[in-house]
Amino acid sequence: MDKKVTKEKNRMDLVANLAVILAALIVIATVVKNDWLAKPLHISQAQTALKGTKLQVPGVNWERAPRTLIMALSTECRFCIQSIPFYKRLTTETRGLDNPVPIIAVFPQQLSVAQAFVQTNQIHPDEVLSRSLQTMGISGTPTLLLVDNTGKVQEVWSGELSGSQESILIQQISSRN
């Protein structure tokens, strides 16, 4: 009788151990899928449709400069957070231009939260706004829009950019002055 109980206990231990291992594998697979294999947001059809449209952003005077760069970001966006070094570089390198392009950071979060985010991360846009991104036609973050002095969207960049894409964007902004 004692051998039968021991055998049953060993079988239950084996089943429990297999269940723990299976659960661990599921957790690991989920982490790998969501964090390591996730691709940054690419330009969606909605984002592409923005090009050539007139952007309505209350409080923004497009006529103050030939071009304005809108950075639609979120304090909760993983790709925005991963792109902070680029945003710092972007806001720093474009300052020294003869005719700098004003940079406006727009967040869906409250203004105080957005301002704390740019200050903490040493991003230096000319202005920080709190607006609904959907009302601007923006469906995901990060999205950068180059807008002319009439409010017409000239270029759209969406998602986390590669190093070469970042350099091209900065060059494009710098060379069009």
Instruction: Choose the weakest-confidence range: 19-28, 123-132, 161-170.
Output: 19-28
DSSP the chain: -HHHHHHHHHHHHHHHHHHHHHHHHHHHHHHIIIIISPPPPPPPHHHHHHTTSBP--TT--GGGSSEEEEEE--TT-HHHHHTHHHHHHHHHHTTTSSSPPPEEEEESS-HHHHHHHHHHTT---SEEEE--TGGGT--SSSEEEEEETTSBEEEEEESPPPHHHHHHHHHHHHHT-
| Domain boundary assignment for the chain | 1-38, 45-175
Whether 122 has a pLDDT exceeding 60, the answer reads: yes
Please give the pLDDT value at position 38: 46
The CATH architecture that domain 45-175 belongs to is: 3-Layer(aba) Sandwich (3.40)
- Average pLDDT score over residue span 149-160: 93
pLDDT class for 176, splitting at 50, 70, 90? low
Q: Considering the chain, what is the average pLDDT of its residues?
A: 85
pLDDT tens digit sequence for 61-81: 999 999 999 999 999 999 999
18-46 per-position pLDDT tens digit: 777 887 787 777 766 655 444 444 444 54
130-139 tens-digit pLDDT: 999 998 989 8
Residue 126: per-residue pLDDT: 94
**Stronger pLDDT, 167 or 2, i.e. the higher one:** 167
Mean pLDDT of all residues in 119-130? 96
What's the confidence (pLDDT) of residue 48?
67
Q: Is the pLDDT of residue 109 over 90?
A: yes
**Residue 40 confidence (pLDDT):** 43
